[in-house]
Amino acid sequence: MTEQILLTIENIREKGYEVLEGIDIFIKNYLPLSHKKLVIKKILDICVIEGDIKKIDFSLKEFAFEYVLVNEFSNINFEVDDIIELYDELKKHEVLDKVLKLIPESEKEFIHKVLEKEIEQLQIVDNSLASVVSKQLSTLVEKLPDQKSLTKLIKDLPKHINKIDSSKFKSLAEAIGIYSGEKNA
């Protein structure tokens, strides 16, 4: 098994580009399709902003693409506290660029092409009117009482109606009549 290398923001800042000097970087030449699908999912997990509609943070998408490729194709891992700060240091010191050059172009192109199609599909399907309405209806249905609660409510309804003071109905009817203009003062 190849030795894993852990890079931190501190050692990247301290050594800069030379943080990779003297270490054996191992690059996989090929990832199986099932692994590529996981790579694409990891990238999407970083750059998709969930809400009523899904949005793509395109600056995070670019970072996620490079970051996940390096993590998955090489023996280099990163200690991450602040993903934006990490990206800035990796780009400033050209660490990502050096490792990305070692990854086969055909692998990068395939993952990028499929990632773009996944994003396109996500925006069409998940953000369609039907999908947005479906999500809202699902939320509403989740709030409806279940069969047991509904049966209890129907059973208890006569008790609650009997507790209402009938004199208040008369006052209510008069108030409604005045409000609707049926009765003039």
More confident residue, 55 or 178: 55
Average pLDDT of span 96-117:
96
**Cα-to-chain-centroid distance, residue 158:** 47
Model's pTM, two decimal places? 0.68
Task: Output the CA–CA distances (angstroms, integers) from residue 116 to 3, 14, 164, in the order listed.
Answer: 32, 36, 62
- The DSSP secondary-structure symbol of 3 reads P
**Cα-to-chain-centroid distance, residue 76:** 25
The pLDDT of residue 26:
93
Position 44, amino acid: L
pLDDT at residue 178 is higher than 90:
no
Average pLDDT of span 21-46:
94
Mean pLDDT computed over every residue of the chain: 83
The pLDDT of residue 133:
64
pLDDT at residue 33 is higher than 80:
yes
pLDDT at residue 99 is higher than 70:
yes
The domain locations on the chain are 5-128, 145-180
pLDDT at residue 78 is higher than 70:
yes
The segment with the largest mean pLDDT, out of 42-46, 47-51, 122-126, 144-148, is 42-46
Position 109, amino acid: E
pLDDT at residue 18 is higher than 90:
no
Helix/strand/coil for 40? helix
pLDDT at residue 137 is higher than 70:
no
